[in-house]
């Protein structure tokens, strides 16, 4: 990829920070399938060893327990770094606000420094949260966002916005080969059922027969993407020559109230719906404009929402059978 001196018989090597997390672990799988040697780095603050247990013992997989806000050392060559380390759910970044900011700033700085020293391509996992509570709809990459920098969500939003700025600075000043993916709401297996996001919360409540909690009147919208589509988009971006940020998301927009009803129907639950006060700075709309991804990556979602939801619900049901605590705690 970027290391032209590598012997053609040697495998490409990729470091995936946050590799034991929901998204990171699926990326580990994909790069193993693509015959890369994968180095997974995670401090397990929000990731889980269970997510990568099936890869332990694979000759092409190495796990390093490390906090990326500290100096990062990886021996040997690296061809690619995927920087996916970060708390990513509201519960996580509200409970760990300073750590969230440190991962976005110090962690990104350390990972970019490693990319520079190894002459490795660098892919930053950014987020649709950089658009904040958007004033344009749908959101395209040229929209600068509407973010409250001192609000509760600001620790995550600003961490990612800073990470993007740092990434582009390293690209422009140091010539690091960088990519930025802005990820919209993603769901699938290996999500934590208590991570606070709408889908796992609704599925947990439906499995228990409890009321589904909708905030506000439920008219706020989201666009949900199945994790395999996200992985495909990141893979294509990592192999592309496009430097500017790219939205990866499913533009199939739905209100949260409609989504709650959809989960009840899909799970055949008797749950009702209750309403609670809308959290401050909660975005009213969220829908990606994926024109750029279609143009430069030839990418668009392949899974419709029902197909992905059925696969995800099956995962949560199996997980509940293995460990009742995930449902009943």
Enumerate the domain spans of the chain.
13-187+225-248, 198-222+252-286+304-328
pLDDT for the residue numbered 8: 58
pLDDT for the residue numbered 157: 96
Q: Yes or no: is domain 13-187+225-248 CATH 2.60.40.420?
A: no
Give dist(CA 143, CA 145) in Å, integer: 6
pLDDT at residue 3 tops 60: no
Give dist(CA 120, CA 51) in Å, integer: 26
Per DSSP, helices labelled H in the chain are 22-33, 90-95, 97-102, 108-118, 154-174, 198-208, 227-238, 256-267, 291-297, 305-322, 325-328
Q: What is the CA radius of gyration of the chain?
A: 19
pLDDT for the residue numbered 195: 87
How do residues 125-163 score in pLDDT, each as one tens digit?
A: 999 999 999 999 999 999 999 999 999 999 999 999 999
pTM here is 0.94
Among 93, 156, 170, 226, the active-site one is 156
pLDDT at residue 327 tops 60: no
Mean pLDDT computed over 37-64: 98
Question: Counting beta carbons within 10 angstroms of the beta carbon of residue 119, is it exposed (0 to 12), middle (13 to 18) or buried (19 or more)?
Answer: middle
The per-residue DSSP string of 148-186 comes to -TTSTTHHHHHHHHHHHHHHHHHHHHH---EEEEEE--E
Mean pLDDT computed over 73-102: 95
Mean pLDDT computed over 269-281: 93
Mean pLDDT computed over 101-117: 98
Percent of all residues in the chain with a pLDDT value above 70, rounded to a whole number? 94
Mean pLDDT of the chain: 94
Give dist(CA 83, CA 180) in Å, integer: 10
Band of pLDDT at residue 1, cut at 50, 70 and 90: very low
CATH class of 198-222+252-286+304-328: alpha beta
Band of pLDDT at residue 180, cut at 50, 70 and 90: very high
Task: Specify whether 156 is catalytic.
Answer: yes
**Contact (Cβ atoms closer than 8 angstroms) between residue 33 and residue 59:** no
């Amino acid at each position: 990829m970027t290391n032209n001196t590598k012997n053609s018989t040697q495998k490409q090597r990729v470091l995936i920070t946050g590799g034991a997390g929901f998204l990171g672990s699926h990326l580990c799988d994909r790069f193993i399938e693509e015959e890369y040697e994968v180095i997974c780095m995670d401090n397990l603050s929000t990731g889980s060893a269970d997510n990568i247990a099936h890869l332990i013992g694979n000759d092409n997989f190495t796990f390093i327990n490390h906090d990326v806000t500290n100096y990062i050392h990886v021996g040997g060559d690296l061809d690619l770094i995927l920087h996916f380390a970060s708390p990513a759910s509201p519960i996580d970044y509200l409970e760990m606000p300073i750590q969230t900011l440190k991962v976005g700033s110090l962690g990104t700085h350390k990972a970019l420094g490693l990319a520079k020293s190894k002459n490795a391509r660098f892919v930053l996992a950014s987020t649709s949260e950089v658009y904040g509570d958007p004033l344009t709809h749908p959101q395209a990459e040229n929209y600068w966002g509407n973010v409250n920098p001192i609000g509760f969500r600001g620790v995550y939003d600003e961490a990612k916005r800073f990470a993007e700025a740092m990434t582009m600075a390293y690209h422009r000043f140091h010539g690091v080969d960088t990519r930025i993916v802005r990820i919209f709401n993603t769901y699938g297996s290996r999500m934590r059922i208590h991570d606070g996001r709408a889908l796992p919360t609704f599925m947990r409540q439906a499995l228990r027969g409890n009321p589904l909690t909708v905030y506000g009147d439920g008219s706020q919208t989201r666009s949900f993407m199945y994790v395999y589509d996200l992985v495909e988009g990141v893979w294509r971006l990592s192999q592309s020559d496009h430097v500017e940020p790219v939205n990866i998301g499913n533009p199939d927009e739905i209100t949260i109230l409609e989504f709650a009803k959809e989960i009840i129907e899909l799970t055949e639950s008797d749950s009702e719906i209750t309403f609670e006060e809308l959290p401050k700075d909660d975005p009213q709309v969220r829908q990606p404009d994926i024109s750029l991804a279609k143009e430069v990556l030839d990418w668009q979602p392949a899974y419709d929402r029902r197909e992905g939801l059925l696969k995800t619900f099956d995962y949560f049901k199996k997980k509940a059978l293995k460990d009742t605590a995930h449902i009943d705690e």
